[in-house]
Structure 1
Amino acid sequence: MDLISDVHEPEIKRLKSENECDERSGKEEQNSDIQESVTNTPDTKEISLERAQEREEDNERMVEGDNENSGIIDSDDEYKFPPDVDASDMLDEVEYNGYFPTVTDRYLTPYYKLNVQSPGDDICIRIHSNRICMLSLAPSHIILQGDKDITKVNFKVSDKLDRSLNKVSGKGKHGAQPLQTNSNICSISCSDGQTYMIKCCMIGKLVEVNEMLLENPRLLRNLPHKGGYLAIILPNLRLLENLRQSLLTHEQYIELIQEREKTATHA
């Protein structure tokens, strides 16, 4: 048995560990010296100085730019508003005859049917671009001539049928009352005791009636967009073009009304 090796074994281990620690510390000191030598080289110092100068120059430019901009905004002497321009000459280029078209004139095209049931029973059908139709009396209708006072508009056209109870739903106007060309829309009573039955003049579905006429029948003398219409109707789209062809345009209507007035004058 080797007693010497057993006794000195802890001491040997301690010496080895101390040597290893010394080696590690020596390497770390050597690395730090190398880093210091690299960072303290003349080239590195010059690069860091150049970067610092560039940052300072950039900051100075930004400050100068802010001062210039603030001077432009705040200084009333340097900035001048452009002179006022007289725009009255622009109105000379606009074609204006003193008449502004109404909502009805802009979006609905009027067509007419004269003497539907009797002389002077003239109906106007205005067709929208979406093919919805607005039914009203034509300006030449006998009800609107002279000083006749409209006393009542009744949408109950029979004992079993009341147009004011029409209820529709959806794009297809489900539940709408069907209409034929000779279907009655309403009856109009006047102060002279006369009652006039108004026909639909088209095939389609009843969308709504003008219920305001029930309380104020005199609205019928107003323009359509001011309450002077009778009903809104969705025509049979397959027959819409035939409907247009069977009606009078506004120009044709004016010509016929003028001829009628001349004939009445000579008579």
Structure 2
Amino acid sequence: MGIIIKTPDEIARMRIACRLASEVLDYITPFVKPGVTTEELDRLCHEYMVEEQGCVPAPLHYAPPGYTPYPKSICTSINHQVCHGIPGPKALKRGDIVNLDITVIKDGFHGDTSRMFIVGDEGSILAKRLCQITYECLWLGIEKVKPGAQLGDIGHAIQQYAENAGFSVVQEFCGHGIGRKFHEEPQVVHFGIPGTGVRLREGMIFTIEPMINAGKAAISPLPDGWTIVTKDRSLSAQWEHTLLVTADGVEVLTVSAGSPARPASIATAKEIIVPTFA
């Protein structure tokens, strides 16, 4: 199936689903502290999505071809885990970094976002820098989104910034179109050459979710069939937003009252719409 251009009604529904996904992260933030298990974070998020929001946790039992069904409602990737970490009984420690990846389904539409957390706010200098650079990579990619731009523009901006900072970009996993399905076309890689790839059109909705490693880019899977780790066991970070290509720029859909601010180091561009909340 090709790229699906969303109708005004579908865009309105995506705005709701994406805001709700971000609000799950707002809700769970106070619970991310030393001593909590990722299994407990999963339970709390599941209950909030189902009982408070009336949503379906998209990852639960998700099984693309070649995979066993994912057993939990969120993904929790700690330290050297790159993505798709399965929540479990091991407690978080002060100084750990953890990515919480949330996808909800509301009225048939998916909202997808993730944030990094430094447990106890006492991470190493490297951990803090990696999380910050990765967040800036996300926003540099967002800044490139507008009608007529190409996916290579996004990937190049992310790759150049990450590598200039001394980090590496995971190339095996990427952003993706999203809507009624969890994963749609196009694939949005986080590396590339400017002026290449799919040309962006108004009404496209997709994620940008760079995975940046402190060491080398090589990755490997764990025996659970889902969790991906850095091969050299270096730290890895990821941030994710879902974006809408508008008539003259981009709208960030996965924004809520508790969303981290746009990095001050990223120049303000009038075409980027970021909703504000009282």
Q: TM-score range by the shorter chain?
A: under 0.3
The structure with the largest alpha-carbon Rg is 1
Richer in helix (by share): 1
In the superposition, the TM-score normalised over structure 2's length comes to: 0.22
In the superposition, the TM-score normalised over structure 1's length comes to: 0.23
